Amino acid sequence: MQKPTRKIPIAISGLALLLVVIAAMQVLPFKNRAPWNPPPSSSDKVTLLTLGDFGEANFRQRRVAAMLEEACRSAVGEKLVQTVGDNFYSAGVSDIDDPQWTSKFESVYDTPCLMQTRFFAALGNHDYVGSIAAQSEYQNHGTGRWQMPANFYIHDHGMVDGRALVRIVVVDTMTDLKEQIAMIETAFADPDAAIWRVVVGHYNIRTYSEKYHDDDDLQYSLMPALMANQVNFYISGHSHNLQLIENSPVRPDTGREPVYLVSGGGGASPRELLEADPEVAPLLDQKLGFPVVTFTAERADINFMESSGNLLSTLQTSEKKFTVELACLKSNPDSGCVEAVMD
């Protein structure tokens, strides 16, 4: 007698495999590896892609990396990635040969546009568990994209009428700030040196994170220096979420506070946020992602690119856009310069 065939179990197995593939397509990022040729560069625009709390080597970091490639392809003018710390969880790197350089950096951000983009690094608390010297030395190794000449430093981008379009001062909020505050004062002593003034550090001066709160030490030490030197943006990470804050100064005669960007959605699990006045904090999102800031001589356009941090969520991304006029920051001692942009 002829044995019964096993067509039904095979069909069921095939259907199950198909469902697994479809599910994987929904939750796993597929990198854009299409050829990419950079457009002609222009010095009158700078696109700053910020990336924080990312070195996890997990699906969340890969999801954000896929988003970062798309943002890189859309960038105008000179482009760069600026990290805001916690580059390698959970204990930094041991040396320049640590395999994490491959698993959490080189092999994650290996798509065509990002391969042609420099990553300027700031340090976070998790990085300090490992070797800081290795993170500085690595800029002479690997693909050459990693840039961190010291634990605090200055870099300029763009040029308009003989002035840097953007001057970025990277500070190390894990160490004593006295020397770094002097560096900020020197960097911005000449009013004509740069059009936009940006300071980057890991710890938050202001945050609406449920776990972390405003840093009293930074408010006492760093914030007065930012206000005195008319810094336009302070960009940080640490809170594992995305925030945009424009705070009114306690004393208007001391000058205005910078606009605060929290870019903590690079790969670590997003953390919950407190409620806040939307006029003070127009964006508070427990999401993966990052803000993209495009600078011209007149304004800064801020685009938060976001996605869910849940494994079983779809790969759908969203964008929330804002704009800041430089003239408003210079003339308005209070808040009210950040405006939402509706598509």
Instruction: Please give the Cα distance from 327 to 320 (Å, whole number).
Output: 23
Max distance between CA atoms of the chain, in angstroms, equals: 98
The answer to whether residue 3 is domain-embedded is: no
Q: What is the pTM of this model?
A: 0.92
Six-digit token string for 187: 């960097």
The answer to whether residue 27 is domain-embedded is: no
The answer to whether residue 29 is domain-embedded is: no
Across 15-24, 92-101, 109-118, 231-240, least confident range: 15-24
The answer to whether residue 161 is domain-embedded is: yes
Question: pLDDT tens, 192-206?
Answer: 999 999 999 999 999
The answer to whether residue 13 is domain-embedded is: no
The answer to whether residue 297 is domain-embedded is: yes
The answer to whether residue 55 is domain-embedded is: yes
Range of the domain at 60: 38-341
CATH number at residue 132: 3.60.21.10
Residue pair 73/32 in contact by the 8 Å Cβ criterion: yes
Radius of gyration over alpha carbons of the chain, in Å? 22
153-160: strand order across its sheet = 153-160, 163-170, 194-200, 233-236, 259-263, 242-245, 283-285
Side-chain-side CA neighbours of 248 within 13 Å: the count stands at 9
- How many domains would you assign to the chain? 1
The answer to whether residue 296 is domain-embedded is: yes
Question: pLDDT tens, 160-197?
Answer: 999 999 999 999 999 999 999 999 999 999 999 999 99
